[in-house]
């Protein structure tokens, strides 16, 4: 028996043998969506962030079965969301990215943040992004890009 997940608006069929596998591994190794990154595997770094509905989840922390019937958005689908597109454009405008490894998770977290609070102040940005670590220290540019997107962005 197989089961279905809805990822980036499309139904994908997954072998039932992978039903207890954490969603992160199903996304990367079964479905082939490698934009979502593995960092700590322990819910500490945010690299594996995905949206379920509008909320951010650490995909390393929940089995795929928890997402049956729940729409999942990964970084590969973020541009189809007007807010996700605005954030990605702001990320380019603010030249946020350094090595890039953490950035899919950062963009997912920023999308969840602005969905919940369209005009966050510095403290709200810090709180909303606090689950996502960046070893390159891009935090000031992330804050700038979030503000740019919140203000409507250039795009």
Nearest residue (CB) to ligand FES, 105 versus 120 = 105
100 binds ligand FES (CB under 6 A): yes
Applying CB under 6 A, the span of 8-16, 37-45, 64-72, 116-124 interacting with ligand FES comes to 37-45
Among 99, 116, 127, 151, binds ligand FES (CB under 6 A): 99
Tokens describing residue 55: 């909320």
Q: Does 39 bind ligand FES (CB under 6 A)?
A: yes
Report in angstroms how near the CB of residue 25 gets to ligand FES at its nearest: 11
Order of strands, sheet of 71-73, starting from the edge strand that comes earlier in the sequence: 10-15, 2-7, 71-73, 49-52, 55-58
Q: Judged by CB under 6 A, does residue 135 bind ligand FES?
A: yes
The torsion angles phi and psi of 14, rounded to 5 degrees, stand at: -125, 140
Does residue 35 bind ligand FES (CB under 6 A)? no
In angstroms, the CA 56 to CA 78 distance is 12
Select the residue interacting with ligand FES from 102, 107, 108, 148 (CB under 6 A): 102
Residues 143, 151 contacting (CB under 8 angstroms): no
Which residue shows structure tokens 């992160």? Answer: 24
Identify the residue among 23, 57, 138, 143 touching ligand FES (CB under 6 A): 138
Residues interacting with ligand FES, by CB under 6 A? 38-41, 43-48, 58, 60, 97-103, 134-136, 138
């Amino acid at each position: 028996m197989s089961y279905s997940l809805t990822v980036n608006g499309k139904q994908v069929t997954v072998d039932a043998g992978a039903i207890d596998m954490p969603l992160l591994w199903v996304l990367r190794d079964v479905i082939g969506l490698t934009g979502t990154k593995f960092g700590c595997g322990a819910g500490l770094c945010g690299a594996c962030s995905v949206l379920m509905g509008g909320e951010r989840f650490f995909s390393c922390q929940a089995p795929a079965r928890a997402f049956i019937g729940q729409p999942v958005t990964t970084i590969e689908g973020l541009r189809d969301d007007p807010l996700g597109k605005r954030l990605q454009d702001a990320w380019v405008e603010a030249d946020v990215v350094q090595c890039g490894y953490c950035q899919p998770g950062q963009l997912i977290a920023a999308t969840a943040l602005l969905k919940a609070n369209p005009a966050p102040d510095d403290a709200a940005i810090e709180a909303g992004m606090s689950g996502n670590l960046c070893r390159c220290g891009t935090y000031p540019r992330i804050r700038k890009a979030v503000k740019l997107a919140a203000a409507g962005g250039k795009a």
